[in-house]
Amino acid sequence: MKTYNIALLAGDGTGKEVTDEAVKVLKAIGEKHSIDFNFEPALIGGCAYDEYKTPLPDVTLDIAKKSDAVLLGAVGDWKYDTLPPEVRPERALLGIRKELNLFANLRPATVYPELTSLSPLKEDFVSGTDIMIIRELTGDVYFGTPKGIETKNGEKFGYNNMCYFESEIRRIAHVAFKVAMQRNKKLCSVDKANVLDVSRLWREIVIETSKEYPEVELSHMYVDNAAMQLIRNPKQFDVVLTGNIFGDILSDEASMLSGSLGLLPSASLSDTKLAMYEPIHGSAPDLKGQNIVNPIATILSAAMMLKYSFNMDTEHDEIVNAVRKALKDGFRTKDIAQDGMTILGTKEIGDIIKANILKY
């Protein structure tokens, strides 16, 4: 029996509650298919700061680097808000992305038929939406230098640098075209090429890369228009390719198509086989310990791990179907509950999903 070693970085707040359920579900898959998933826990974020005075200790990075895949909960808690920026929990997230070279962030925004009425948008507009946002994750204004706050002309001056090497654009473009080839072969690249030089280069390299994928229909959209089109007509999108900061913003916006941040998973891939999987939501420290948060985004992130890291398409589908069955049967956590439905706790919805996996 092959063993898959998974670095388990639960993080802060409700991170452990949601990763516990994903572990439960992976163990059910293991039991059903005789796969051995071995979990190696490590600290990241505020809890790591408490223990090691850094949010991303070397021991955590080592465990992550030696693993076959990383499962992350969430980082951050109000109690760390006063820490200096270099040791804040969010830094650990940026640090691990950079250290593991996780440049390709896949954020699917899928509207499940069971949940179309959850979206704040009209059902007709969102039903059937199935978008894959591909966000570049290790470059852009997030990591560009020079950056800082200093005094200039007698007043404070803050600055960051939005920048990309063509090699960084090319490698994320290849990921996006490959994903598009597996889907409906439509790729929309989002930039701000009417204003930003870095975006003009982005567009040039994306067009160049597209020559290798003649079957994919490529379009370009300015980010402001894309923000509007996502609400106006989300079904026009298949794969959306964009840089780090635009992708950060557009993926939060897209999550509202499905109605809850608690539903959306993500995968962050590198050019080696190492990858990290995490829900797109935060750590919700105010909800900690109450057994009320929605573990589905993390459970679906574990499903993405099976698909993208371990090539287990059947097992991936089993998790997705088990989640959908639970929703169809009217089992909900509080964030997505509607009239007449059974409200369950974090653990209980995890149990139902596990039972569905073992049963079907």
User: Per CB under 5 A, does 248 bind Mg ion?
Assistant: yes
Contact at 8 Å (CB) between 293 and 14? yes
Q: Which is nearer to ligand IPM, 9 or 326 (CB)?
A: 9
Instruction: Classify residue 287 as exposed, middle or buried by CB count within 10 Å of its CB (0-12, 13-18, 19+).
Output: middle
Q: Which does 90 bind (CB under 5 to 8 A by kind): ligand IPM, Mg ion, none?
A: ligand IPM
Cα atoms found within 13 Å of the Cα of residue 147, Cβ hemisphere only = 10
Residue number, nearest CB to ligand IPM: 90
- Please, what is the minimum distance in Å from the beta carbon of residue 102 to ligand IPM? 11
- Tokens describing residue 71: 């499962």
Q: Can 248 be counted among the known catalytic residues?
A: yes
Contact at 8 Å (CB) between 127 and 294? no
User: Per CB under 6 A, does 248 bind ligand IPM?
Assistant: yes
- What is the C-alpha separation between 147 and 143, in angstroms, rounded? 9
What are 4's strand-pairing partners?
37
- What is the C-alpha separation between 4 and 40, in angstroms, rounded? 11
* Catalytic residue (choose from 224, 313, 317, 329): 224
User: Per CB under 5 A, does 50 bind Mg ion?
Assistant: no
* Best CA proximity match to 346, nearest among 77, 23, 45: 23
- Within 105-164, the residues that bind ligand IPM by CB under 6 A are none
Q: Look at residue 134 and give its three-state secondary structure.
A: strand
Q: Can 140 be counted among the known catalytic residues?
A: no
Regarding beta strands 331-332 and 186-191, do their DSSP bridges make them parallel or antiparallel, or are they unpaired?
A: unpaired
- Please, what is the minimum distance in Å from the beta carbon of residue 252 to Mg ion? 5
User: Per CB under 6 A, does 253 bind ligand IPM?
Assistant: no
User: Per CB under 5 A, does 90 bind Mg ion?
Assistant: no
Contact at 8 Å (CB) between 350 and 295? yes
Q: Can 351 be counted among the known catalytic residues?
A: no
Q: What is the DSSP string of 47-113?
A: HHHHHHSSSS-HHHHHHHHHSSEEEEEE---GGGTTS-GGGSHHHHHHHHHHHTT--EEEEEEE--G
Instruction: Classify residue 66 as exposed, middle or buried by CB count within 10 Å of its CB (0-12, 13-18, 19+).
Output: exposed
- Please, what is the minimum distance in Å from the beta carbon of residue 137 to ligand IPM? 7
Contact at 8 Å (CB) between 257 and 111? yes
Residue number, nearest CB to Mg ion: 248
- Sketch the per residue contact string, 93 through 132, with Mg ion: x for CB under 5 A, - otherwise: ----------------------------------------
Q: Which is nearer to Mg ion, 50 or 248 (CB)?
A: 248
Q: Can 335 be counted among the known catalytic residues?
A: no
Q: Can 224 be counted among the known catalytic residues?
A: yes
Which residue shows structure tokens 């998933």? 37
User: Per CB under 6 A, does 240 bind ligand IPM?
Assistant: no
Q: Which is nearer to ligand IPM, 114 or 253 (CB)?
A: 253
Q: Which is nearer to Mg ion, 90 or 114 (CB)?
A: 90
Q: Which is nearer to ligand IPM, 97 or 307 (CB)?
A: 97
Q: Which is nearer to ligand IPM, 94 or 162 (CB)?
A: 94
- Within 69-98, the residues that bind ligand IPM by CB under 6 A are 90, 93-94
Only one of the segments 128-136, 244-252, 301-309, 334-342 lies at the binding site for Mg ion (rule: CB under 5 A); that segment is 244-252
Number of residues that bind ligand IPM (CB under 6 A): 4
- The residues of the shown chain that bind ligand IPM, judged by CB under 6 A, are 90, 93-94, 248
Mind telling me the catalytic residues? 142, 192, 224, 248, 252
